Amino acid sequence: MARLCLRAATGRRGRWDAAPSGTPWFAAEQRATLVNVKLKWVKDRALDAAVSRERHLRAAHHLLDLVFSRPGHRVSRSDLLDERSVLRLCGSACSALEFLRRFHTLFALSRGGVSLTDAALDLRRREVDYLCATEGELVDRLRRLLMLTLPRSLPLHTIDLLRWDLGLPSDYRASILPRYPEHFALEQPEGDERVWLRLLSWDSLLAVSELEKNADGFDTACLPFPVSFTRGFGLRSKCMDWLQEWQALPYTSPYADASDLDRRTDVSEKRNVGVFHELLHLTVAKRTERHNVSNMRKLLGMPQKFTKVFERHPGIFYLSRVLGTQTVVLREAYGGGSQVLEKHAHPLVAIREEYSTLIRAALPPRMRGRERHGAFRKQDEGYVVGGDEEFELSDLSECAESEITL
């Protein structure tokens, strides 16, 4: 069937008839070059709003987690401000205190120290209870992440970058990994300063991509990706013809060995898209910052400049440029809106949305409306924690709409 898909897509015979028995499908003739078409980056306000709702959430959640982990869910100001992660996050003790005061719906400051409000404490307890009850599902997602890599292992630093997106608790190294010695091992290769997490057991039942699970009768050898575009995208007929042809190419499971694929072909590019499609499905909110995966090229078996697939396929991925970074969003999970569709929604999304509601309640009415609708000024896009007012990291001049050569 893969042979038929390849012939239908390329309109020519491959080397299938001459190939010896047992030759893998991707050893057939592949497209020699990538098709040269141009697509524009077009701003999607709904998806930008989805990313913008977490403007203060990660910083607030980190501080909340630190307070909650102390006896009595209370910590002195000096102890909290002595935490290296707090200074790294906020920049200074004054900025951290200002952040705590600003979000009074989460944090209660007194002369004795910092505690949590009743609403924040109740929500955090619900979150912890949920994480404990679904630890097995969380472990499976971590195993699938490691199964996507060629060495079946990742540096802990890389996993830490993805920790929030995967829904891992901050203490996962001590609270989760030791309980599953049959699945995970920590090791430090000779000559490498990094500690790696290695997968010990392969599970064929887990090695099924989300695209394959939702095939709905399609032949899994030639699966197309769900595609949608921002309103007003204006896809030209040449691009549409290329996209239809590309969708008909063979689909390689992101969990399969693709070492024999020619990286200069559209077939290989479809495999690369499939890897990131699966990786984003493993995340809670079906998105992650681009730099979180930029150091995973060799581990995922990717070519140079592999993150260009995000720009080359704007109907599958959306690159949001708000909050002073680039966030890759899986379009199909949002269905054109700013909320994750119910069929893709992870339960942690609802809990985090409740955190965001408490955060917005602490903002002045003028800012609260902008937070809710994602209607920010350009200088707001570079906001970071610190000081009494927001300030920008950069003017993000590269975010202007521009043509991207495929």
Strand order in the sheet with 287-289: 287-289, 327-330, 317-320
pLDDT, position 138: 96
Q: How many residues are listed for the chain in this entry?
A: 406
> Percent of the chain at pLDDT above 70?
80
For the stretch 21-67, pLDDT in tens is 343 444 444 444 555 565 778 899 999 999 999 999 999 999 999 99
Closest to 261 in 3D by CA, of 35, 36, 33, 25: 25
Give the dihedral of Cα atoms 122, 128, 133, 135; nearest 10 deg: 160
CA dist 176 → 59, 145, 183, 340, 394 (Å): 23, 16, 11, 27, 38
Average of per-residue pLDDT across 68-94: 93
pLDDT tens digit string along 205-257?
A: 999 999 999 887 777 788 999 999 887 776 677 788 888 999 999 999 999 99
* Contact present, 127 and 346 (Cβ < 8 Å): no
What are the tens digits of pLDDT across the range 288-339? 999 999 889 999 999 888 888 998 899 999 999 999 999 999 999 999 999 9
Q: Rounded distance, CA 124 to CA 119, Å?
A: 9
pLDDT of residue 205: 96
* C-alpha span between 199 and 148 (Å, rounded): 11
pTM of the model: 0.82
Q: CA–CA separation, 14 vs 285, rounded Å? A: 40
List pLDDT tens digits, range 251-291. 999 999 988 888 888 899 999 999 999 999 999 999 999 99
Q: Any idea where the domains of the chain sit in the sequence?
A: 2-6+29-49+207-344, 130-199
* Cβ(271)–Cβ(261) below 8 Å: yes
Q: Residue by residue, what is the 3-state secondary structure of the chain?
A: CHHHHHHHHHCCCCCCCCCCCCCCHHHCCCCCCCCCCEEECCCCHHHHHHHHCCCCHHHHHHHHHHHHCCHHHEECHHHHHCCHHHHHHHCCHHHHHHHHHHCCCCEEEECCEEEECHHHHHHHHHHHHHHHHCHHHHHHHHHHHHHCCCCCEEEHHHHHHHHHHHCCCCCHHHHCHHHCCCCEEEECCCCCCCCEEEECCCCCCCCCCHHHHCCCCCCHHHCCCCCCCCCCCCCCHHHHHHHHHHHCCCCCCCCCCCCCCCCCCHHHHHHHHHHHHHHHHHCCCCEEEHHHCCCCHHHHCCCCCHHHHHHHCCCCEEEECCCCCCEEEEHHHCCCCCCCCCCCCCHHHHHHHHHHHHHHHCCCHHHHHHHHHCCCCHHHHHCCCCCCCCCCCCCCHHHCCCEEEC
Cβ atoms < 10 Å from Cβ of 397: 7
Indicate whether 132 pLDDT > 50. Answer: yes
Q: How far, in Å, CA of 337 to CA of 47, rounded?
A: 7
Interaxial angle between packed helices 118-133 and 347-361, expressed in degrees from 0 to 180 and rounded to the nearest 10: 170
* pLDDT > 50? residue 372: yes
Determine the Cα–Cα distance for residues 65 and 83; give it in Å rounded to an integer.
Answer: 12
